[in-house]
Amino acid sequence: MNIVGIIPARFASTRLMGKLLANIDGKPIIQHTYESIKKSKLMNDVIIAVDDEKLYDVVRGFGAKAKLTPRELLTSTDRVAYVAEKISADVFLNIPGAQPFISSKIIDEVIEPHLFDPEITITTIATQINLVDELKSTSITKVVFDYNNYALYFSGSPIPFVKDAKTNLERVLSAEIFKHVGIYAYSKEILSTISKLKPTDLERIEKLEQLRLLEHGLKIKIVVTEEESFSVYTPSDLDYARRYYSNIKMRENG
């Protein structure tokens, strides 16, 4: 099975302009992400889909494959579909560029269901929330799913809402609440279908493109991971990422 990872990389982030070029210990975020996911045991290739010449030059500069995509493409899925259209592969991954320390195990976990069940066409990753700050953050998408691990809904708000809990800490401790790690794996056929779907009401309201898939009746298989992951959305996230990487290097150097 031929499996290709695509990293949609937009320069014009609304929350942190040019964040993918932000420096962490001498490397841009997009390079850290690329080097992390290249450790996957199941992917055959990785391509970075960029919307900006400067990003393109940086990506080519550290040796990755890059494809320029039209700036008018609105979603990461649109960029993945644009690049995938010209590639012969069985499964395509959509991997956010702002996850500099993403575990390669997560990449392999989102791929694995496609290897064993031909009925599965879309997979994504979720992990349990253990911190009140994550529960409260509207930048962190939450997901609920059924007993077969198919997604029911995604939201920036805390879902499920634990009605009887009196505090957010009690909510975190009394229920399994999951955050969505925004990595997807699509079969070639379903990605072609997705690229033709029109935007939907809930997608517009929540500003979450995966709701377009649910509203059109597509099934998204949720893979639960115990691996930790975080994305760089804001300047404070960037500060945390730099401290995190500094601590890693200190441990490695004894």
pLDDT of residue 231: 85
pLDDT confidence bin for 93, thresholds 50/70/90: very high
In the numeric block, the tokens 């976990």 are attached to: 109
pLDDT higher than 70, residue 38 = yes
Q: What local confidence, expressed as pLDDT, does residue 252 receive? A: 75
Tokens of 168: 């957010």
What predicted TM-score, i.e. pTM, was given to this entire model?
Answer: 0.90
Q: Percentage of the chain surpassing pLDDT 90?
A: 77
74 or 17: which carries more pLDDT confidence? 74
CA-CA distance, 249 to 209, in Å (whole number)? 36
- Please list the helix, strand and coil fractions of the chain in percent, rounded to the nearest 5, in that order: 35, 20, 40
Give the tens place of pLDDT for each residue, 216-250.
999 999 999 998 888 888 888 899 889 988 888 77
Higher-pLDDT residue of 71, 142: 142
- The H or E element containing residue 66 is strand 65-68
14 pLDDT exceeds 60?
no
Q: Domains in the chain, ordered, with CATH?
A: 3-124+181-252 (3.90.550.10)
Q: What is the pLDDT of residue 35?
A: 95
Mean pLDDT for 59-87 is 92
pLDDT band at 13 (very low <50, low <70, confident <90, very high): low
